[in-house]
Amino acid sequence: AQSVTQLGSHVSVSEGALVLLRCNYSSSVPPYLFWYVQYPNQGLQLLLKYTSAATLVKGINGFEAEFKKSETSFHLTKPSAHMSDAAEYFCAVCGNQGGKLIFGQGTELSVKP
């Protein structure tokens, strides 16, 4: 069975500070991993994905994530937070090519001026 754990339901950073959102996964097969962002009352948008190519994945809006198999992690980072990054972020895992993503609980990111 696959699962995703996002550590920290709320993360607060100052504008310009490093953003680090944590995601650990469990999968019995090589995983495909995704990060999505959700703004209030909207659907989710894809930030980036890992599909067994490069372990460091770059996404939109300056975000990136590193796949670490030994740590079963796929943490999301951004060097310098912007006010517009305030949103909820979801990590998701898929163990095969057929869809049906399993989502983490989400992490709400707040950015202080």
Partner 1 sequence: DGGITQSPKYLFRKEGQNVTLSCEQNLNHDAMYWYRQDPGQGLRLIYYSQIVNDFQKGDIAEGYSVSREKKESFPLTVTSAQKNPTAFYLCAIWTGLLYGYTFGSGTRLTVV
Q: Counting contacts by CB under 8 A, is residue 44 touching partner 1?
A: yes
Among 28, 70, 84, 97, binds partner 1 (CB under 8 A): 97
Per residue, the 3-state secondary structure of the chain, as one string, reads CCEEEEECCEEEEECCCCEEEEEEEECCCCCEEEEEEECCCCCEEEEEEECCCCCEEECHHHCEEEEECCCCEEEEEECCCCHHHCEEEEEEEECCCCCCCEECCCEEEEEEC
Q: Counting contacts by CB under 8 A, is residue 76 touching partner 1?
A: no
Return the number of the residue (98 or 113) whose C-beta is nearest partner 1.
98
Q: Counting contacts by CB under 8 A, is residue 49 touching partner 1?
A: yes
Q: Counting contacts by CB under 8 A, is residue 41 touching partner 1?
A: yes
Residue pointed to by tokens 């996404």: 59
Q: Counting contacts by CB under 8 A, is residue 29 touching partner 1?
A: no
Contact yes or no for 14/112 (Cβ under 8 A) = yes
Q: Counting contacts by CB under 8 A, is residue 59 touching partner 1?
A: no
Q: Counting contacts by CB under 8 A, is residue 42 touching partner 1?
A: yes
- Applying CB under 8 A, which residues contact partner 1? 9, 32, 34, 36, 41-46, 49, 51, 90, 92, 94, 97-101, 103-106
